[in-house]
Amino acid sequence: MGKGALLWFLVVVTGGCFWCRIAKAEEPVEPLPPATSASNPDSGEGDTRRAPQARDRESPRLRFNAPAPSSSAGRSSLAEPDTMQMVLGIVMGVGTSIVSIETYAGTHGNVWYTGAAALGGALGTGAIVCAVGQLSPTRRGGCRGSLVGALIGVVGAVPGLLLLYLIAKSPCSGAGEEQDGCLNGQVVGGIASISAAAAGFSLGTAYGAQTGWRLGAVSRGAAPTAATASLLSVHF
């Protein structure tokens, strides 16, 4: 082969390789498929498969628990004037007992005057308990039940009065030290029976008035911001 033919062969081979590279460079490149997202809008369903790296980079979600609503029933129960009703009712009962004893002694054992003083004191206890009950933020009224309950509570004095009656109807017999001992026993028994009657009267009228008020009082509905105790606004 001559030198001219060899040179021509090299030129042809070099040109072919050059055109092959150009042809490969001009070939269209297929685009890569898009990365799968968390949700596919075409399908309408979220893709639960996620890349490990994206899952590792995902920060934990913070959850804040809402505070439990405060109970208004607890606050309302603390604002109820139950304790004040009982305290004033007992004080009124003790005062009525003292007045009744003095009336009995001053009228030389007149039962009618003594009974009138006791019943008047019981009605006063019911009125005071009802007036204090108007301070309740949730209930109002109930004076009729309070008065009736106080009158029923007078029965609490019956055991002490019966004991006093039995002691008074048991005369002492004998003489000397025996009679003195019997008289001393009667005095002690009389004081104990009177104390029991006064305690039963005070507790009975106070508890009866409060129970009657609870049964007779009605709901206020929307509780006002402030309640005032006025006998003029009491609902019977």
Q: Which of 204, 233, 217 is nearest to 121 (CA)?
A: 204
Helix (H, G, I), strand (E, B) or coil at 46: strand
pTM: 0.60
pLDDT value for 222: 46
Q: Angle, to 10 degrees, between the axis of helix 143-153 and the axis of helix 177-216?
A: 160
Give, in order, the Cα–Cα distances in Å from 143 to each of 55, 116, 139, 175, 206.
71, 21, 12, 56, 13
Confidence (pLDDT) at 96: 95
Burial category of 94 from C-beta neighbours within 10 Å (exposed 0-12, middle 13-18, buried 19 and up)? middle
Q: Are 146 and 228 in contact (CB under 8 A)?
A: no
**79: Cβ contacts below 8 Å, ≥ 6 apart:** 136, 137
Q: Are 79 and 203 in contact (CB under 8 A)?
A: no
- pLDDT beneath 50, residues of the chain: 1, 18, 22-23, 26, 37-39, 41, 43-48, 51, 54, 64, 67, 70-77, 222-236
To 10 degrees, what angle do helices 158-168 and 177-216 make? 160
Q: How far apart are CA 221 and CA 19, in angstroms?
A: 97
Q: How far apart are CA 17 and CA 137, in angstroms?
A: 102
DSSP designation for 60: P
pLDDT for the residue 233: 45
Q: How far is CA 212 from CA 78, 85, 127, 230, in A?
A: 20, 12, 11, 19
